[in-house]
């Protein structure tokens, strides 16, 4: 039995030092120099997609600068999206920053503020004033997915580091490292497909990739590497269903394609779009000249759904569009 309710592997394998961080060498190399400056370290913004190492890097910096007990006293971790009442953040921040006037004079303090791009613009103005008026020993590390959601006056006060989506080989190597550490044995013949599937599920997010791996192990899916089950538990459609759908789209049988689509349980529409898009090269009759237009249509549908459009309507339209691109004449 492998049903382990142990520490999440994302935590267990969270890098403890800079050189353990995969990719991100540009950001990390520059950042190392700043960290050595201690009190002259600038405020920083880490921007980039989820699961690329932003929080990990902030924690490493904090650990390097504040060792031992002092860490707990002098590091404040806040998450903007957890904290519904931003008043609370404001108060907590101000207390933390000011407290410094009372306790010791010049100990370094670090504020780690996650998901800063979720903070409303008006509150960001307040944050900006707090940053401005903070004494030199208080350093802010802000994290965000989208730098354009942060107001300019904050950006201009920070050194910005961009974290990039991890490439396939880096993700797969990290997963292999964990597999080795955990002494898991995978069936040789299916290994490659397994890692490729985990990478596909992750979309470049290493946290997601590691979580999917741990879940596959916990659900005992790795003995015979049941790829379809792994896709399913991660919110993707199984291959046989996808294949069936493709057949009906190729024969332009819209009603049947829609039936298949309607029969999918727990459809995650944006995952479904990614999966279909990935599957596109396998459609025999998609006219090569039109393929880029079709891809653009996928992008539009994905965007509309992200903006709250009705998912079923959008996806049904996408299926119809796919049929219209099935070109058997050219």
Ligand X SMILES: Nc1ncnc2c1ncn2[C@@H]1O[C@H](COP(=O)(O)OP(=O)(O)O)[C@@H](O)[C@H]1O
Sites of contact with ligand X (CB under 6 A): 10, 13-15, 21-24, 50-56, 174, 206-207, 210
Distance of closest approach, residue 238 Cβ to Mg ion, in angstroms? 31
Residue nearest to Mg ion (CB): 55
Residue 47 touching Mg ion (CB under 5 A): no
Count other Cβ atoms within 10 Å, centred on residue 317. 16
Which does residue 261 touch among Mg ion, ligand X, none (CB within 5 to 8 A, set by kind)? none
Q: Would you say 199 or 261 has its CB closer to ligand X?
A: 199
Least Cβ distance, residue 14 to ligand X (angstroms) = 3
Q: Which residues pair with 83 in a beta bridge?
A: none
13 binds, among ligand X, Mg ion, none (CB under 5 to 8 A by kind): ligand X
Whose tokens are 């806040």? That residue is 78
| Number of residues binding to Mg ion, judged by CB under 5 A | 1
Helix H or strand E encompassing 159: strand 158-162
Which residue, among 211, 167, 153, has the nearest Cα to 7 in the 3D structure?
211
Which DSSP string do the residues of 146-178 spell out, in sequence order?
-GGGS-HHHHTTEEEEEPPPPPHHHHHHHHHHH
Contact between 52 and 21 (Cβ < 8 Å): no
User: 153 or 203: whose CB is closer to Mg ion?
Assistant: 203
CB of 145 to Mg ion, least distance (A): 9
Toward ligand X, which CB reaches closer, 54 or 139?
54
Taking Cα atoms as reference points, which of 229, 206, 205, 202 lies closest to residue 217? 229
Query: Which tokens go with 48?
Result: 């980039």
Residue 206 or residue 257: which is nearer to Mg ion going by CB?
A: 206
Q: H helices then E strands: how many in the chain?
A: 16, 5
Closest approach, Cβ 215 to ligand X, in A, equals 15
Shortest distance (Å) from residue 213 CB to ligand X? 11
**Cα→Cα distances 194→8, 14, 81, 222, 256, Å:** 20, 22, 34, 9, 31
Stretch binding Mg ion (CB under 5 A), from 31-39, 49-57, 120-128, 256-264: 49-57
Residues in touch with Mg ion (CB under 5 A): 55
């Amino acid at each position: 039995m492998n049903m382990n309710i142990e520490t999440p592997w994302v935590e267990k394998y969270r890098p403890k030092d800079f050189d353990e961080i995969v990719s991100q060498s540009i950001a990390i190399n520059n950042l190392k120099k700043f960290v050595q400056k201690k009190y002259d370290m600038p405020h920083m913004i880490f921007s980039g997609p989820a699961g690329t190492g932003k929080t990990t890097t902030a924690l490493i910096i904090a650990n390097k600068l504040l060792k031992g007990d002092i860490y707990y006293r002098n590091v404040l971790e806040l998450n903007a999206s957890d904290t519904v009442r931003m008043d609370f953040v404001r108060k907590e921040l101000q207390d933390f920053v000011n407290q410094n006037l009372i306790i010791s004079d010049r100990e370094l303090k670090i504020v780690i503020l996650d998901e800063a791009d979720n903070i409303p613009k008006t509150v960001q103005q307040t944050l900006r004033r707090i940053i401005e008026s903070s004494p030199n020993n208080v350093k802010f590390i802000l994290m965000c997915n989208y730098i354009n959601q942060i107001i300019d006056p904050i950006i201009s006060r920070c050194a910005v580091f961009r974290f990039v989506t991890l490439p396939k080989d880096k993700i797969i190597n990290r997963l292999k490292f964990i597999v080795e550490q955990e002494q898991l044995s995978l069936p040789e013949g299916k290994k490659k497909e397994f890692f490729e599937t985990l990478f596909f599920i992750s979309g470049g997010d290493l946290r997601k990739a590691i979580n999917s791996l741990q879940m596959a192990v916990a659900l005992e899916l790795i003995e015979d590497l049941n790829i379809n089950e792994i896709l399913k538990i991660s919110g993707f459609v199984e291959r046989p269903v996808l294949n069936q759908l493709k057949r009906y789209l190729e024969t332009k049988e819209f009603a049947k394609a829609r039936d298949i689509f309607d029969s999918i349980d727990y459809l995650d529409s944006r995952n479904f779009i990614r999966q279909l898009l990935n599957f596109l090269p396998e459609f025999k009759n998609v006219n090569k000249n039109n393929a880029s237009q079709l891809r653009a249509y996928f992008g539009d549908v994905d965007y509309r759904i992200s903006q709250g459009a009705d998912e079923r309507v959008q996806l049904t339209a996408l299926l119809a569009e796919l049929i219209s691109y099935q070109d058997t004449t050219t």
